[in-house]
Amino acid sequence: MDTMAEEDGELECEEESVGEEADDASARLEKELEEAKCLADERLDQLKRCRAELENVMKMAARDREENIKFASQRLISRLLGFLDSMEQASKHDQGVKLLNLQLLAILEGEGLVPIEAEGKPFDPYRHEALMQVESGELAENTVAQELSRGYILNNRVLRTSKVAVVKKR
């Protein structure tokens, strides 16, 4: 019977030992869980701050975009004010209208606008719009005989095609 009592005593010691180990493991897991919760809270706080900062940047960019659109033509309009003044003066003189045309064209060329040369050039459907065909003994077929309305290129892109009369075969 002594062996049984000894075995019971050993079992109790083992149970206590296992219980202590379980308590230690449980405490360690609770500590790790608490640390993980703290880390998750920190990350959530960082995420919220980043989201708020992103929203502020997007709002600021939208305001800047609106401001840029609002004043995009300011430089051109400022340059045209001088033309407006000249127009008032030119209305008093005959030769003034020609000068106004040259002044306005110079302002627009400064902004990147270039007239399309059409008369005597081969017809180009990307730059010219044929409104009519004419016969000519002097010009080759599919050549622009007459420019009816001038076309323009803005910064290497056709803004408006030239309206033209094109030579056809006799």
Q: What total of structural domains would you count in the chain?
A: 3
Please give the sequence-ordered ranges of beta strands (E in DSSP) within the chain, or none if there are none.
113-115, 128-135, 144-149, 152-154, 157-160, 162-168
Same domain, 33 and 45: yes
Read off the tokens for 116.
Answer: 């399309």
Same domain, 149 and 117: yes
Domain boundary among 72, 101, 125: 72
| CATH number for position 136 | 2.30.22.10
Same domain, 85 and 140: no
The amino acid occupying position 23 is D
Give pLDDT tens digits for 74-88.
677 667 667 767 776
Same domain, 97 and 43: no
Q: What percent of the chain has pLDDT over 90?
A: 38
For residues 73 and 81, give the distance between their C-alpha atoms in angstroms, rounded to a whole number.
12
Give pLDDT tens digits for 34-57.
999 999 999 999 999 999 999 999
Q: Which domain holds residue 68?
A: 1-72
